[in-house]
Amino acid sequence: MFDNMRVYAFVGPSGTGKSYRAQLVAGENNIKYIIDDGLLIDDNEVVAGTSAKKAPTKIETIKHALFNNEAEKKVIWDAFERLKPEAVLILGTSDGMVEKIVENLQLPKISKTIYINEVATEEEMQKARRMRVHEGKHVIPVPTFEIKKDFSGFLLDPLQIFKSKGSGNDPYIAEKSIIRPTFSYIGNFTISDTVFRQIIRVLLKRDKEHNIAKLSRIRIDKYGEGIYIYMEAVVMYGCSIPDTINKFQAKVKKEVEKLTSMNVQKVEVYVRAVRVDGTDIELTD
């Protein structure tokens, strides 16, 4: 299907630092695109796929990373058709794994395989393994903002490294992300609903326009891959209600995501009353 594409493999046991070094290996071999754990990555950006590390179990992550599902294959095929990459670097824990990915995606045979022990010392691999086993952390070779939508509620830390685009080119800083996958045995990372309510009330208190007199109710619910925030408000008489609500919704979404690293999927504000001369007048449906 993609006969002219050069296919490279980067192989090493789980937790030895492949994702950390993937961009360096790609740069040294003049490869722009990387396939890692279900993602197709162009330089520092996810262009197709969803991370296998989002899956609820270890078994599901493996199936996802191998592109066993027809829908997952089609997403990558469509991206290849659109982007027409000359070469791709496929990451895997074994020769068999990368060969299976090549087979499932119907790619040309692997022309070169690079092994982790060729680019990392034993000490470096052991350090990476300790981080995986004892802290439950994985590295994905893209910036935090690129994968935050796939990891709502999990720890995300930016990690910067030097990257080279190939021989003779100056190195530059490339950002990666450290995440704790869904199937981690270290434990869950949760934020109390009270935290969200407190953030929202502080935002209201700091609102310079003072068009929202008070929030009589704030409810936080899980919604898809993030949270849903519902609020009931009393607004000041004379303000533009649509403008006031739209601005506050945008501010709540921005600040909650910034302070918690959680995805805010929906913010809904119901105006239940208007305050006139200190009196709240209920609105009828």
- The gap between the terminal CA atoms of the chain, to the nearest Å, is 58
pLDDT of residue 175: 41
Question: Could you identify the residue written with the tokens 């824990």?
Answer: 93
3-class DSSP state of 16:
coil
Which pLDDT tens digit goes with each residue over 15-39? 777 777 787 888 888 898 989 878 8
pLDDT of residue 229: 93
Distance (Å, whole) CA 52 – CA 57: 10
CA distances from 223 to 52, 124, 198, 226, 267 (A): 21, 40, 20, 5, 11
Side by side, which strands form the sheet with 45-48? Answer: 45-48, 39-42, 33-36, 87-92, 6-11, 110-115
pLDDT of residue 261: 66
Q: Is 237 left (phi over 0), alpha (psi -120 to 50) or beta?
A: beta
Paired with 90 in beta bridges are: 9, 35
pLDDT tens per residue across all 285 residues of the chain: 677 899 999 998 877 777 777 878 888 888 989 898 788 888 767 788 876 655 556 677 777 788 888 888 899 999 999 989 899 999 988 999 999 999 999 999 999 999 988 887 788 777 766 655 544 455 555 444 344 445 444 444 444 444 444 555 554 434 444 444 444 444 444 567 788 889 999 999 988 888 999 999 999 887 666 789 999 999 999 999 999 999 999 999 988 887 776 778 899 999 999 999 999 999 876
Which pLDDT tens digit goes with each residue over 40-66? 888 767 788 876 655 556 677 777 788
Contact in structure between 52 and 81 (CB atoms under 8 Å): no
* Domain layout of the chain by residue ranges: 6-179, 193-282
Annotation: CATH topology of 193-282? Alpha-Beta Plaits (3.30.70)
| Among 195, 197, 241, residue whose Cα is nearest residue 217 | 197
For 277, the token pair is: 């001369």
Q: Is the pTM of this model over 0.85?
A: no
pLDDT of residue 186: 41
DSSP string, 265-284: EEEEEEEEEEEETTEEEEPP
Distance (Å, whole) CA 258 – CA 149: 13
pLDDT of residue 262: 73
pLDDT of residue 170: 53
| Among 121, 102, 108, 110, residue whose Cα is nearest residue 21 | 121
pLDDT of residue 243: 94
pLDDT of residue 132: 54
